Amino acid sequence: MELVAFLETLWLARIPILKGLGVTVSISLLAILVGTILGVGVGLALTYGKGPVRWLVRGYTDFIRGTPVLVLVLASYYVLGTIGIDLGPFQAGVLALAVFCSSHVGEIVRGALESIPKGQTEAAKAIGLTFPQTFAYVLGPQALRQVLPAWVNTAAEMVKASTLLSIIGVAELLLRTQELISRTFMSLEFYLFAGFLYFVINYGIERFGKYVERKTSIPS
Amino acid sequence: MTGNLLEIRDLHKRYGEVEVLKGVDCTMQQGDVISIIGSSGSGKTTMLRCINMLEEFQGGSIRIDGEEIGYETMGGARRRKKEKEIARQRAMTGMAFQQFNLFPHMSAAENVMLGLVKVKGMARDEARGVAEKWLDRVGLAERRDRYPGQLSGGQQQRVAIARAIAMNPKLMLFDEVTSALDPELVNEVLQVIKDLARDGMSMLLVTHEMRFAFEVSNRVIFMNQGRIGEEGNPREMFIKPQTERLAEFLKTSTFN
């Protein structure tokens, strides 16, 4: 019975797999969290920034978005070291993913803010709200709802991109799986299983996104 | 202090090379209801939007209750006032827009409450009471918890008027508030404005509704190519226009 043999092996290997899963989840969460915080700043600068600030941030997003994530990961690990910023593989990887995430979130936020009709800002001004108030109560809440679907997408992309950290030796789920396969030769089974775990994570993210969308939907 | 509620002196506004307001003077007393008419591109909406600084202007001055709006002159240099100061001045006027511009993520009552709580610093309960009072006044008491997407155009516009008026402005600005409405919804909005006029609210209305302008306003301003072409009481102006331009404009307007 091959299935029984696989399940027995899986049970024996549960600790490294769970560890790998934990690392994958931590990388993804950190990257999404930091990337989102940075990305909101990027989006604000792209939308409201003046002159040089806007150009600088525009350059940043275009450059990052035009670069393969793998190149960012490698650069973060190997190149930063040469200029004196010595990061471990985990930190370097998270940094690369967060930067990548921030450029995408930045574009999403900019798109959402620009899609809000000008009349919203004018109506807010007309009742005497200052710009920070207008953003907090009028523009932000509307942008948030627009951003959500695309943001969920980006979050799922980050989970997938976390596999690239296996290249620089971060023991995340994919690297753990590959190690197991090299010892057990059950490549199909373990790859399928890893694929299933990635699916579960992303499905969870998607459900969470749908839940928030439902919770915040505007009655009409 | 001149005692005028609104005093516009030699107002100039340019978009790049194009001068859309070429020196407008206008004064208004407490309780005046003034309609601004004129063909599109004559500058009437722009003039209205300068009063609450939704448009910058390059020359002249606007005073509300003697207070200079938007700019200050110090040592001969004209400077835009600080953003916070301008926000405070904007709250002296209320504005209703052609496209209503309600906040879609808030219920009718929350739309009205936002300014009361965040600008006036009112407690939520008190603001809720004020909002309900005004929604009742515009005939929407039972719709106060509906969202803009659940209201008709006429209802949305009435909420928008309630939102502006609840802030207790010194002067209400109406910018073609019925132009985006289906014909059968126009009257419910005009009725609300008439009621406000009767209660003594000072109002400045940009409108294409000639009959309404005739009925509700004690003065009409005819804008023509960035200047005031003619002004006076509606009866005299509409029956005996003094200028060729106004006569022509009135001919092409409908009085229904």
In this prediction, residue B255 carries a pLDDT of 67
Q: In terms of Cα–Cα distance, which of B176, B178, B175, B137 is closest to B159?
A: B137
Helix (H) or strand (E) holding A118: helix A118-126
In this prediction, residue B75 carries a pLDDT of 85
Question: B24 and B8 in contact (C-beta within 8 Å)?
Answer: yes
Nearest CA in chain A to B167: A127
Q: What percent of chain B has pLDDT over 90?
A: 90
User: How, if at all, do strands B171-175 and B203-206 pair?
Assistant: parallel
Quick: pLDDT tens for A100-117.
999 999 999 999 999 999
Quick: pLDDT tens for A24-45.
999 999 999 999 999 999 999 9
Contact A122 B94 (CB under 8 A): no
In this prediction, residue A1 carries a pLDDT of 58
Quick: pLDDT tens for B94-107.
999 999 999 999 99
In this prediction, residue B19 carries a pLDDT of 94
In this prediction, residue B1 carries a pLDDT of 47
> pLDDT averaged over chain A?
94
Quick: pLDDT tens for B37-66.
999 889 999 999 999 999 999 999 999 999
Q: Which of B114, B122, B130, B167 to mutate to test the interface with A (most CBs of A within 10 A)?
A: B114
The mean pLDDT of B24-32, rounded to a whole number, is 95
Contact A127 B94 (CB under 8 A): yes
The mean pLDDT of B154-168, rounded to a whole number, is 97
What ipTM was reported for this prediction? 0.93
> pLDDT averaged over chain B?
94
The mean pLDDT of B82-103, rounded to a whole number, is 97
Partner residue facing B119 (CB), from A117, A129, A218: A129
The mean pLDDT of B178-206, rounded to a whole number, is 94
Nearest CA in chain A to B87: A128
pTM of the model: 0.88
Cβ contacts (< 8 Å) between A145 and chain B: which residues? 105
Quick: pLDDT tens for A117-165.
999 999 999 999 999 999 999 999 999 999 999 999 999 999 999 999 9
Q: In terms of Cα–Cα distance, which of A34, A43, A60 is closest to A147?
A: A43
Helix (H) or strand (E) holding B80: strand B77-80
Cβ atoms < 10 Å from Cβ of B65: 15
The mean pLDDT of B131-151, rounded to a whole number, is 96
Partner residue facing A128 (CB), from B87, B104, B150: B87
Helix (H) or strand (E) holding B26: strand B18-28
The mean pLDDT of A17-27, rounded to a whole number, is 95
